[in-house]
Amino acid sequence: MQIRPILATLRYHKAGTLLIALQIALTLAIVCNALFIIHQRLGQLSRPSGVDESDLLLVHNQWAGKPDADEVASMMASDLATLRNLPGVANVYATNTYPLSGEGTVFGIGHSPDKKTYTDSTAIYFVDDNALATLGLRLIAGRNFRPDEIGASSKHSKIEPDEIIITQALAHHLFPDASAVGKAVYLSRKPSIIIGVVGRMRTPWVDSSMAKWDEYSTLLPYRRLEGYTEYVIRTQPGQLDDVARRVKATLYAANRMRVISPKNGVRTFADVGAQAYNSDRGMAILMGAISLIMLTITGAGIVGLTSFWVGQRRKQIGVRRALGATQRDILSYFLTENLLIGVAGVIVGGVLAIGLNLWLMNQFEMEKLAMGYVVAGVAILLVLGQGAVLAPALRASKVPPVEATRSV
């Protein structure tokens, strides 16, 4: 192929050549990283919470006045009975928080009571014996809590559970080589015996800073008696909307001294997930939109500059045609010229993409860019370049040989 004459010509268009190459390089750097961010964020979105998410309803209930622990205990018990009797409700329990809620309590968990030696963080869920069934959690080993094991704890009371249930991820982390069931771990000064291991159960948080232990969850057999209570309700299949409509009025009818926010007091688990992943979804959309516009503008820029070159070189093209070059020769000339510029651009762009990723890793705890994204980005930009140059190149190939004889 006629690469040498192309290179010679490009020397006369240094500025334009440089600008196209630079634009391709910068676009590649951004698009690679944007695609990577999109993939990461979508990966977040599709991570299972571990909970059987359909037919799950959450009620955030704040107690009005200033009831003491005993009063909260009796109101909570009566609420649970009320909710259980509500038509369409399959199961219910009261807790402090649930997966993806964004709020909750973290404890250190480890093999010694002082916690100064090696410990890990774990999300704490205060639950009763109905939690596993309500959330649809799968018990992998051991057993569930028994009703008589469920204790009570007020806001500032001691938390020293005799039995706990932990997730498989945490069990495997604490006891890599053996079954965790029956083993003792320390959440407090006293040992707690692991009586059961459940499959997956996410912590309340989706932040990347907590991603390392986002499946380290611990269930404690306590009724949490404080200023607010979360009710987790499983409805009969298909009854979710119906129960969601009636649950608030039912609770207020049973006892008016409470606050259930009209805005977000009653939510389905789908609402909870949508809110938790709001910024992940938004980031993916933003990156997608910017990448698309960026590629369009880069493509359009190539069309514009190549059209200008074609216009400038009509006479030369005419001469070449008059000297026997075919339409195909002219077409492939412009395609090759663009490919050369494109290759130079993507080489620089690939380096820039990796550099940008390193900087983002340093600044924002991003992961390392997989090479596949750079390869995909290179392919996208080279194809885009060829596509963009096609129309002006075709126009160039249509220049008649007689053009050589015209003076302008």
Binding site for other proteins (CB under 8 A): 15-16, 19-20, 22-23, 26-27, 29-30, 33-34, 37, 62-66, 113-116, 155-159, 186, 188-189, 208, 226-228, 252, 256-259, 261, 278-279, 281-283, 285-287, 290, 293-294, 297-298, 300-301, 304-305, 307-308, 311-312, 360, 363-365, 408
* Cβ-based nearer residue to other proteins, 16 or 199: 16
- Residue 52 Cβ vs other proteins, minimum distance, rounded to whole Å: 27
Asked whether the beta carbons of 241 and 84 are under 8 A apart, the reply is no
Asked whether the beta carbons of 139 and 198 are under 8 A apart, the reply is yes
- Residue 237 Cβ vs other proteins, minimum distance, rounded to whole Å: 32
- Residue 387 Cβ vs other proteins, minimum distance, rounded to whole Å: 16
- Residue 117 Cβ vs other proteins, minimum distance, rounded to whole Å: 9
Angle, CA of 303, 305 and 306, to the nearest 5°: 65
* Cβ-based nearer residue to other proteins, 90 or 159: 159
Asked whether the beta carbons of 294 and 376 are under 8 A apart, the reply is no
E-strand spans in 37-118?
A: 56-63, 89-95, 105-110
297/303 Cα distance (integer angstroms): 10
* Cβ-based nearer residue to other proteins, 138 or 248: 248
* Cβ-based nearer residue to other proteins, 87 or 311: 311
Cα dist. 265→155, 190, 245, 268, 271 in Å? 21, 36, 12, 10, 11
82/61 Cα distance (integer angstroms): 14
- Chain center to CA of 381: 26
* Cβ-based nearer residue to other proteins, 97 or 144: 97
- Residue 67 Cβ vs other proteins, minimum distance, rounded to whole Å: 9
* Cβ-based nearer residue to other proteins, 190 or 245: 190
| Sign of the C-alpha dihedral computed for residues 235, 240, 242 and 247 taken in this order | positive
- Residue 261 Cβ vs other proteins, minimum distance, rounded to whole Å: 7
